Structure 1
Amino acid sequence: MNKYDAVIIGFGRGGKSLAAELAGKGWKVAIIERSEEMYGGSCVNVACIPTKAMIHFAALSECRKTLSFTQQSVVYREAVNSVDRLTSSMRKANYEKVVNKENLTLITGEASFRSPHQLIVKTMEGELVIEADKIFINTGSLPIIPSITGIEKSKRVYTSESLLKLQQLPRHLVIIGGGYVGLEFAFMYAAFGSQVTLLDTHPQILPHEDDDIAYYVRKAIEEREIVFHKNVMVQSIRDEKNASIVSYVNLSTENLHELPADAVLIAVGREPDIKSLDLEAAGIHLNDHGAIETDAHLHTSVPGIWAMGDVKGGPMFTYVSLDDYRIIIDELFGKGQRTVFDRDPIPTTLFIEPPLAKIGVGEEEAFRVGCNIKVAKLLASEMGRAKTLGQTEGLMKIVVNADTNHIIGCTFFCVEANEMINLAAVAIHAKLDYRFMRDQVFTHPSMSEAFNKLLSLIE
């Protein structure tokens, strides 16, 4: 039996950072990853990096609107191959950082618990039994596959992970699910030249956003000729010779409809990747959502076992996984004061065109909970930077607590919103008076100047 000071199950952002830190402090560490194709974790291989790279190439493709579908297909194939080279190089770099690290052992295989502090690892060479006083679970998440008749048999059904490897641009892409993943892929493939249809069970687009923000997102969807069917339920998928037929019911009228598709993307959410871990053997509890139950310091129900990243549920972002690493390091080598609550609220970005970024509360939510607020709104077209980029779509909003003068929420649906939201996050977490941001000197032309204009509208 191999004994380690610490074992990390999963090569994701938080896990690999923790492994390197512990090994650097002289701990004997093992990091276990199921597949060579996942060195570096989901973000590098199947999520953030490849999707955002494809969105970038799609935006470049959209500039070539005079191209035929055949020509666009060539552009798309080149983008797929470019992204594959990118992820391969990043996967290789992650691998080399681990294998060249003193005190750190990489084991490629599938881990499951034998007891609270013993693991069985199935590798190509056979089974290993390893033991550690401290075990950190960082196995990430997987796309949810809903119960739809014919979904398992269809050869044209993809997840967000497998669609990115498709070499042929689909003429008609049907996306099941209108959340973040569904919308990002809808904008991406529409930009490449696909006809895109979105099917979603919700009665409205982005139900958790303010109505005015959702209105501008709807406009952007319509302008790109993306068809969005709301309040529908998919019944079945069947393959025919030249297409798959997606059958769905309108929940209001109960009418049955059918759509032909060259490809069907399943984008109804993600779930913790825990099925192979045999958590019962360790006595690890799950919460009501099927994720590993953890406390504010990421402890599981078993002493000496932590969970980090997507596997514990909650916001599934790589930067949250990285912050989980910081919490654990603070406990092991610091004052142990850092918790999951320190990072709230968390900024998010939906990488559509333009990006939709948000942090904190929206106007409608603030009213519902009885906050005394002031709200500022500004069209993106008012900004010089938006004009110079030729991207004037969208709306920006900031919510201020009228009693404290603190910014408590920002929603930016505009070009470069993904960068602006990080400034908003600093202001919120630092509890800055909104007038501090209002009077800051920002470079010109920049979208950051929106803080000057927006906050000057606060009385």
Structure 2
Amino acid sequence: MNTLNFTNLIVGWGKGGKTLAKFLAARGESVALIEQSPKMYGGTCINIACIPSKFLITRSERGMDFAKAAESKAEFIAKLNHKNYHLLADEECVTIINGRARFTSNREIEVTAGDDLLRVTGERIFINTGATPIVPDLAGLADNPNVLTSTELLDLKEKPEQLVIMGAGFISLEFASMFAGFGSKVTVLDLRSEFLPREDEDVAQRVRSDLEARGVDFRLGVTFDKVAENELFITENGTKTAVKFDKLLVATGRKASTEGLGLENTDIELNGRGEIVVTDKLETTAENVWAIGDVHGGPQFTYTSLDDFRILQSQLYGDQSRTLADRDVLSTNVFIEPSLAEVGLNEKAAKTAGIPYRLFKMDTSAIVKANLIAQPQGLLKALVNPADDTILGATLYMPEGHEIINLISLAMKTKLPYTMIRDHIFTHPTISEGLNDLFAAGNEVK
């Protein structure tokens, strides 16, 4: 068996890993990037998550035919995949190794590609294998060609007439909104009886009613019994019934991709959820081994994976000041119509924690631009610290909320008082100028 030695080994082609590979190669260091599937050049976001899903969501909102949108999406993703491959493969110091990686020790990895076996070692190793969908252990679910995860659903070439979704989380809602826009009959089933339980009740009610107005049917508090051919058998209000589907999407969460990595042959520890345990510097419990992105738990976003790169850059070649502890302000977005964007505390969380706050609240319909683009539905909420006027958090359920939330998060990170946004001069007519009105005295809820 051949053995190749590198300064850096990166296992998995995610956002943080590929950015790190490019950075290290620019310093003249040898880098080997191990990726088991050519379809994943560029990582999860580009190939099977953020980019293809948002591509289809935007085409859905524009009324494009699904088959045409799917074809255009495939062409677009293929170009990104190709570009990302050459982004690293064309680097003199980077070696791309295709195959399945398995640790045999803290320093050594075996890579299997068909019948070929290669041994590689690294002075530094970075695990960047991401996360995979969780598929419940339910009778009839496995090996059913019409039961899909988000990965397979994004590869469909024809629209399902009846789409049933297991789970009512954020991924589920994005697909529900998308396929409702394409004209599918969408049914969302969830074990929980409360819709979006972590959200403020008024926000959750708006989201649900808007999706229902688009034809999405929600059935909550059900239990899943089994799947047989094109039927999902459930128990609802004590009654057993069956829900027919053309395609069944399993959207019940994601888990760290650590299975089969051979971590039992190392000193690398996992937590109870199967995620790699790391310090605030992304160090694992094995010397000179780090974990990047979804595989170490926490928020599963491309932008947090990129921030992991910044942490490693700071730790390896910077002033070592940047750590996970700096990630105290983190925005999230759900790309439904309109989008649901959040940062910091919502009202429910603040009440639970006993944190005092001033509440500002406004309907999206008060924003001129929202009416101009015929998207007046939605709600804006913001919490302000009564002690120093800084912003504790915001929920923006409105068009372009996924863009505007970044203004709020920047203000929170820099500890600006809310009055800076209230009195800032925004261009007109824009969605962002709605923040002037949100923080006006007349919208404070006493």
Q: TM-score, normalised by structure 2?
A: 0.97
1:21-420 pair list within 5 angstroms: 21-61=23-63, 75-124=65-114, 126-239=116-229, 244-250=230-236, 253-420=237-404
**Any idea what the Cα deviations from partners look like across 1:326-376, whole Å, max 9, x if unmatched?**
000100001111111212221000001100000000012112222221011
- Paired with 1:150 and 1:351, the residues of 2 have a C-alpha distance of 31
- Paired with 1:215 and 1:352, the residues of 2 have a C-alpha distance of 14
Residue 431 of structure 1: aligned partner: 415
Does structure 2 retain, via aligned residues, the 8 Å contact 1:407–1:434? yes
- Paired with 1:165 and 1:451, the residues of 2 have a C-alpha distance of 39
Does structure 1 retain, via aligned residues, the 8 Å contact 2:198–2:348? no
- Paired with 1:92 and 1:125, the residues of 2 have a C-alpha distance of 26
- Could you tell me which amino acid in structure 2 is paired with residue 283 of structure 1? D
- Paired with 2:101 and 2:253, the residues of 1 have a C-alpha distance of 25
- Paired with 1:327 and 1:437, the residues of 2 have a C-alpha distance of 30
- Paired with 2:93 and 2:406, the residues of 1 have a C-alpha distance of 36
Give me the identity figure in percent. Answer: 39
Does structure 1 retain, via aligned residues, the 8 Å contact 2:331–2:405? yes
1:453 aligns with 2:429: no
**Any idea what the Cα deviations from partners look like across 1:134-159, whole Å, max 9, x if unmatched?**
00000011111101110013221011
How many pairs does the alignment contain? 441
- Could you tell me which amino acid in structure 2 is paired with residue 227 of structure 1? D
Does structure 1 retain, via aligned residues, the 8 Å contact 2:16–2:292? yes
**Post-superposition offset of 1:397:** 0.4
Unaligned runs of 5+ in 1: 63-74
Unaligned runs of 5+ in 2: none
- Paired with 1:14 and 1:23, the residues of 2 have a C-alpha distance of 14
**Any idea what the Cα deviations from partners look like across 1:218-268, whole Å, max 9, x if unmatched?**
1112211211001111111111xxxx0110112xx3211111111100000
Does structure 2 retain, via aligned residues, the 8 Å contact 1:24–1:102? no
Does structure 2 retain, via aligned residues, the 8 Å contact 1:14–1:324? yes
- Could you tell me which amino acid in structure 2 is paired with residue 116 of structure 1? N
Does structure 2 retain, via aligned residues, the 8 Å contact 1:283–1:301? yes
**Post-superposition offset of 1:125:** 6.4
**Any idea what the Cα deviations from partners look like across 1:3-52, whole Å, max 9, x if unmatched?**
11110001110000000101111111111111111000000000000000
Q: Deviating runs (4+, > 2 A) in structure 1?
A: none
**Post-superposition offset of 1:285:** 0.4
Residue 71 of structure 1: aligned partner: none
- Could you tell me which amino acid in structure 2 is paired with residue 418 of structure 1? H
